Amino acid sequence: MNICRNSISVTPKPYHKMEAYTFQPIGIIHSCFKEKFAIPRQPGLVKEATATLELLAPFNNVETLDGIDDFSHLWISFVFHEAIKNKAETNFKAKVRPPRLGGNQRVGVFASRSMFRPNPIGLSVVELCRVDRNAATPTLHLAGVDLLDGTPVLDIKPYLGYVDAIPDARSGFAPMAPQKKLDVNWTETAKQACQNLKDIYPELEQLIIHLIELDPRPAYQNKNTSKTEYGMALYEFNIRWAVDDVRAKVLSILPG
């Protein structure tokens, strides 16, 4: 039986205006990503991308997290705060250009996960690593994030596999994970800098490789560009790399 084909039309009552709702952030993200450039375009793509979520008063009662450790993944609802910075609230475009379509094809904003949307609310499923209940304020340690440092968090919900996991869902222009696009090599200097930081950032090398492999450049720059050198702000570092065709080389890891 195809429910969809037989779907019942529910006669709409006339609603023309609804009240606005105001939400106070319940937490803030402290992330390895200090700027938008090079953040993976979805969560889960780079496991080594970590963040902490610090609860904010008056929501920082440690009891709000009772039982959360029994869930391996969480939904984080957040505000795309950088997308609305210095922009009028009315800056709403009906169509956007998803990077997955090469940046030159447009789809409706509600058919995309673009940060430029009528209500700039983001939604990411992330891995819950551990809960620090003894920190100054209760703190969740997360992995596989695509969240900018300073992101305001509106809500945390447990991931429920039996509801949320729909492996046979048809997913339009993004049917599968983006493929690795670049081979990543290192200069001796950069490699050594990474080694020197191993005690503090044991995953730094893998993090850098996995981020650059995805080729964070805007889609329209991927080809025929004169620019060949790039930088990203990761933790307190400025990571520099060069691209030549499908080869990338990490040049340096400098203080940010």
Peptide bond into 175 cis (omega under 30): no
* C-alpha to C-alpha distances, 31 to 65, 85, 121, 241, nearest whole angstrom: 20, 19, 18, 21
Residues 6+ apart with CB under 8 A from 206: 48
With respect to its own copies, which residue has the nearer C-beta, 70 or 245?
A: 70
Number of residues near its own copies (by CB under 8 A): 113
With respect to its own copies, which residue has the nearer C-beta, 23 or 220?
A: 23
123 touches 75 (CB < 8 A)? yes
- The reply to whether 175 sits near its own copies by the rule CB under 8 A is yes
- What torsion do the CA atoms of 180, 185, 191, 194 make, to the nearest 10 degrees? -10
- The reply to whether 213 sits near its own copies by the rule CB under 8 A is no
Secondary structure element (H or E) that encloses residue 50, with its range: strand 50-55
The 8-class DSSP code of residue 12 comes to P
User: Considering only residues 37, 72, 195, 229, which one is a binding residue for its own copies as defined by CB under 8 A?
Assistant: 72
With respect to its own copies, which residue has the nearer C-beta, 155 or 231?
A: 155
User: Considering only residues 35, 36, 157, 256, which one is a binding residue for its own copies as defined by CB under 8 A?
Assistant: 157
Shortest Å, Cβ 244 to its own copies = 29
- Using the contact rule CB under 8 A, the part of the chain among 185-193, 199-207, 224-232, 246-254 near its own copies is 199-207
Q: What is the largest CA-CA distance in the chain?
A: 68
- The reply to whether 85 sits near its own copies by the rule CB under 8 A is no
- Using the contact rule CB under 8 A, the part of the chain among 24-32, 188-196, 225-233, 238-246 near its own copies is 24-32
Shortest Å, Cβ 242 to its own copies = 26
- The reply to whether 39 sits near its own copies by the rule CB under 8 A is no
The rounded radius of gyration (Å) of the Cα atoms in the chain is 21
